Amino acid sequence: MKPLLTPSILAADFANLERDINAAERGGADYFHLDIMDGHFVPNISFGPWVAKLMRKITDRPLDAHLMITNPREYIPEFIEAGVELIYPHIEASYDIYRTVQMITDHGARAGITLNPATPISSVEGVIDLIDAVLVMSVCPGFGGQKFIPSSMDRITKLRELLDSLKPSIRIAVDGGVTLENIGNLRKAGADFFIAGSAVFEAPDIEERVRAMKKAMK
């Protein structure tokens, strides 16, 4: 499947959000990623569904929401109503994750599942029938601008093998420390969706950086 570049707006300049989003779009951004943090599941607080509504006013690119929150089911309907089409709860957040994923598909959105760096990749097996994507965290979630954890590369390779044996249509997303330098190797390892915050929005020229990353991931 075609690789997709998904800038994370966490690193955008919120005083100039529309300007930054437009620049990423001109460079060819395929999707936009919303990092939802509750100060409980992760040690940081970001924003809620209202930002998804705001994004729907400034871009027609699809949106995904990465739910770093303890009670994802309380907010899933609101994110879907706001126009988010792909939702990634964390597998570590709910003991009944199957129910959470089911809620996403029942409400008409596509479901992904997120794995923290120390969560075994085999844990995706239980929700395999409902998901379209697995998001591999390549940093500990909570903050942008962290360094890529090197073992994530190997986890992506192994996850690709596992998914090929179970359900080959499932895509792999990678999030955290994705840069122009490592994106080519991440593609070779088997990732399909590349989520990047600081590498895109802290670049001197956002449009140019998106273009360069898209070229490098091919």
Q: What does the CA dihedral 177, 183, 187, 192 come to, rounded to 10 degrees?
A: 60
**Active-site residue identified among 20, 38, 175, 192:** 175
The residue from 177, 182, 186, 210 that contacts ligand DX5 (CB under 6 A) is 177
Q: Shortest distance, CB of residue 148 to ligand DX5, whole angstroms?
A: 8
CB-wise, 167 or 198, nearer to Zn ion? 198
Based on the residue annotation, tell me whether 64 is a catalytic residue of this protein.
no
Q: Which does 72 bind (CB under 5 to 8 A by kind): Zn ion, ligand DX5, none?
A: none
Q: Which does 112 bind (CB under 5 to 8 A by kind): ligand DX5, Zn ion, none?
A: none
Which residues 42-71 are close enough to bind Zn ion by CB under 5 A?
Answer: 66
Q: CB 107: neighbour CB atoms within 10 A?
A: 14
Task: Give the dihedral sign, CA 84/6/43/134.
Answer: positive
Task: Give the dihedral sign, CA 148/8/103/1.
Answer: negative
Q: Where are the alpha helices (DSSP H) in the chain?
A: 17-27, 49-58, 76-81, 97-106, 151-166, 183-189, 198-201, 206-217
The yes or no reply on residue 109 touching ligand DX5 (CB under 6 A) is no
Which spans of this chain sit near ligand DX5 (rule: CB under 6 A)?
A: 8, 10-11, 33, 35, 66, 139, 141-146, 175-178, 195-199
Q: Which residues are catalytic?
A: 35, 175
